[in-house]
Amino acid sequence: MLGRINHIAIAVPDLARATATYRDVLGARVSQPQALPEHGVSVVFVELDNTKVELLEPLGADSPIRSFLEKAPTGGMHHICYEVEDILAARDRLKASGLRVLGDGNPKIGAHGKPVLFLHPKDLDGTLVEIEEV
């Protein structure tokens, strides 16, 4: 069911600083910042040959990244995103297997303009998992 890794997400307290580090120090290609108010984040993507790294910064008072950064003020790995061919079929199969889908269970449009869902980290060995339809 799972396809390739689409991206690994890192929560950061300062998106501009993190972007500069990846671009200027590490020499990576970095996208322009993108605000995603429906997800409560601002993001950039570090574009690598084999995958992407998503840098996330809180956007708004209710951002889930804000609470993450309260626990880890310097930032850290937030989630991993896997590609799936059919997000609704994947959701139904995962739920039937006992995994919990976060939110209302309906896909939202993610940063790539494609449907995404998040799975509860307690069901996946402490790792927040995002699935994205390709």
pLDDT digits (tens, 9 = 90+) for 54-93: 999 999 999 999 999 999 999 999 999 999 999 999 999 9
- Say how many domains are in the chain: 1
Catalytic residue flag (residue 133): no
Alpha carbons 81 and 111: distance in angstroms, whole number: 12
CATH number at residue 78: 3.10.180.10
What pLDDT sits at residue 106? 97
Consecutive H or E run containing 79: strand 76-84
- Whole-model pTM: value is 0.95
Kindly report the number of other CB atoms within 10 A of residue 21's CB atom.
16
What pLDDT sits at residue 22? 98
Mean pLDDT per 10-residue segment, the chain (134 residues)? 96 98 98 96 97 97 94 97 98 98 96 97 97 97
What pLDDT sits at residue 113? 95
- 55 phi, psi to nearest 5 deg: -100, 125
Q: Of residues 54, 130, 132, 133, which has the active-site annotation?
A: 130
Burial class (CB within 10 angstroms; exposed 0-12, middle 13-18, buried 19+) of 66: middle
Alpha carbons 1 and 20: distance in angstroms, whole number: 36
Domain that holds residue 65: 5-133
Distance between first and last Cα of the chain? 12
What pLDDT sits at residue 79? 98
